[in-house]
Structure 1
Amino acid sequence: MVPLRAYPGEVLPIDRLPAALAARPSADLAYLTLGTIFHSAPGVFEACLAGLRALPLDVVVTVGRDGDPDRFGPQPPSVVVERYVPQALLLPRCRLVVSHGGAGTMLGAYAYGLPQLVVPQAADQFLNAAASEAAGAAIALQPGTVTPEAVRAAARRLLDEPGFAAAARAVRAQIEAAPGVEDVLAALTRSPADPANSGHPA
């Protein structure tokens, strides 16, 4: 295994924040996403959104490129629902991320030192949720326990208890200390005869 620094995603020249977000003076946001596959999980989005709406911060929801932003009906001005928002533009504005725990979302959020509420649905997400909780940077709600009340209580803890943010920043420091793509590529393509691969001085 070769360690590799996690990146929150590229910002393309065409990427923009939606007008409803770009115009907001506040960067005090919660980001709710279930990724590109699990956004249709019955009731999970609805419970998470109902719990987050009660918090004193704005909520950004992404429902996937083939999702319907109108599925939740009318929302208060504090809630913005979009199909897609470039993660690398959105995360710097956030205080909290609520997601399924997919690796891209999870590591992207930790690259900005953000505490997380993880509601795993399948695959590696349960392992990611457990690792995040073990690091002290997240709270996980397992399937069948995701209710508006549970989401609201967990989110309040993540926002109010400073230990979660401190642990998330510690994960960010670990990410920043890992070698970047250029360093890993150089190491993988270096000739075996190169003294730099031997671990010993030439």
Structure 2
Amino acid sequence: MVPLRPYPGEILPTDRLPAALAARPTADIAYLTLGTIFHSAPGVFEACLTGLRDLPLPVVATIGRDGDPGRFGPQPPSVTVERYLPQALLLPRCRLVVSHGGAGTMLGAFAHGVPQLIVPQAADQFLNADVAAAAGAAIVLRPAEVTPAAVREAGRRLVEEPGFAAAARAVRDQIEALPGVDRVLATLTASAAARCRRD
């Protein structure tokens, strides 16, 4: 096994954020996503969106390219619901990420030192959530625990209690200390060459 630094996502030349988001100078956004599959999980997105609306942060939610923003009804000016946004551009502007705990979103957020509320739905998400919580950088709500009130309280704690942000920054530092892809490729190439010489 060779450790490899996870990357927070590729930024394509065509990627853009809406002008209002791109103009924000500080990391003050609560970002809600359930990824590309679980955004239609019954009631989960609605409960998260309702709970986050009461936080003193603007909320940006992405619901998938096939999602219908209209399904959530009218939202206050502090809430933006989009089908898709380039996550690699959005994460540096976030103070809080609420997600299902998919590896891409979770590691991308931690690469920017952002604390997280994780609402795992399936697969490896429960393990990811437990590891993030054990690091002190996340709060986890299991499926039966996801209510607007629980999301609101967890979001408030993640924003107001400095220990979560400090732990998320510590995870970021661990990520940054891992070797990048160029170094790993060189290590693997050298190892393969040495084996060939022995054979």
Deviation at 1:22, TM superposition (A): 2.7
Tell me, in whole angstroms, the C-alpha distance in 1 between the residues paired with 2:71 and 2:21: 19
The answer to whether structure 1 residue 144 and structure 2 residue 150 are counterparts is no
Structure 1 unpaired stretches of 5+: 196-202
- In structure 1, the residue corresponding to 2:15 is in which secondary structure? coil
Counterpart secondary structure, 2:151: helix
Q: Percent of counterpart pairs with the same letter?
A: 80
* Alpha-carbon distance between aligned partners in 1 of 2:73 and 2:125, rounded to the nearest angstrom: 29
Q: Which residue of 1 aligns with 2:93?
A: 93
Q: Tell me, what secondary structure is at the counterpart of 2:84? A: coil
TM-score normalised by the chain length of structure 1: 0.92
State the Cα distance separating 1:19 from its structure 2 match: 3.2
Structure 1 residue 191: deviation in Å? 4.7
Q: Secondary structure of the equivalent of 2:179? A: coil
1:77 aligns with 2:77: yes
Q: 1:118 maps to what in 2?
A: 118
Report deviation, 1:18: 1.9
Judging changes above 3 Å, is the alpha-carbon distance between structure 1 residues 56 and 191 closer, same or farther for their aligned structure 2 residues?
Answer: closer
| TM-score normalized by the length of structure 2 | 0.94
Residue in structure 1 matched with residue 52 of structure 2 by the alignment: 52
- Does the C-alpha gap of structure 1 residues 131 and 43 become closer, same or farther in structure 2, counting only changes over 3 Å? same
Q: Deviations over 1:18-48 (max 9, x none)?
A: 2342355664100000000101000000000
Contact 2:24 2:93 in 1 (8 A): no
Please state how far the C-alpha of 1:88 moved relative to its aligned partner. Answer: 1.1
Distance 1:68 1:20, change over 3 A: farther
Instruction: Specify the code of the residue in structure 2 equivalent to 1:187.
Output: T
Match of 2:176 in 1: 176
- Matching residue's letter, 1:4: L
| Partner Cα separation in structure 2 for residue 47 and residue 8 of structure 1 | 27
Unaligned runs of 5+ in 2: none
Kindly state the Cα deviation for residue 66 of structure 1 after the two structures are TM-superposed: 1.2
Compare 134-143 and 15-24 and name the one that shifted more.
Answer: 15-24
Q: Which moved more, 1:62-71 or 1:170-179?
A: 62-71
Counterpart CA distance in 2 for 1:68 and 1:133 is 32
Distance 2:68 2:30 in 1: 20
Q: Distance in 1 between matches of 2:40 and 2:193?
A: 52
What residue number does 2:12 align with? 12
SS in structure 2 of the partner of residue 84 of structure 1: coil
Quick check: 1:20–1:80 contact (8 Å CA) kept in 2?
A: no
Contact persistence 1:95–1:114 (CA under 8 A):
yes
Could you list the structure 1 runs, at least 4 aligned residues long, displaced by more than 6 angstroms after superposition.
none
C-alpha separation in 2, matches of 1:168 and 1:6: 15
